[in-house]
Amino acid sequence: MATEQLILLLATGLLAGIVAGFFGVGGGIVIIPALVFIFGMTQHQAQGTSLGVLLFPIGAMAVWNYHKAGFINFKYVFILVAAFVLGGYFGSLISVNLPNQLLKRMFGILMILVGIKMFFGK
């Protein structure tokens, strides 16, 4: 694995953890678009790999099905997990100190931006 790819995976995992800790959402909202648009994965591969990150206890059965179909990159899973844990800690530290209305608006903007990119992207 190239150094640049490792750095991008770590940054993706860190950002996913921060967003998850910050907004209380699953990391897939960051990981899936990143794997599709940055790493060139198919939607199936991205979803399978993202589920691998959340394997225990959330997606064990779903991960098994994606694994059987050959849609999980376990090397990516392990790197993203490590960075996700750290990002989740720091994201939650910031989030708990923000006013509720600001946090709601930020979450809404995030959802709109990701939705637009997923809808109109390749």
Contact 17, 27 (CB under 8 A): yes
pLDDT by residue (tens digit) across 28-82? 889 999 999 999 999 899 988 988 887 666 677 878 888 999 999 999 999 999 9
pLDDT by residue (tens digit) across 82-92? 999 999 899 99
Among residues 53, 54, 37, 36, the alpha carbon closest in space to that of 45 is found at 36
Contact 50, 27 (CB under 8 A): yes
Q: Give the pLDDT score at 28.
A: 85
Q: Give the pLDDT score at 57.
A: 64
pLDDT by residue (tens digit) across 13-29? 999 988 888 887 788 88
Omega before 33 within 30 of 0, i.e. cis: no
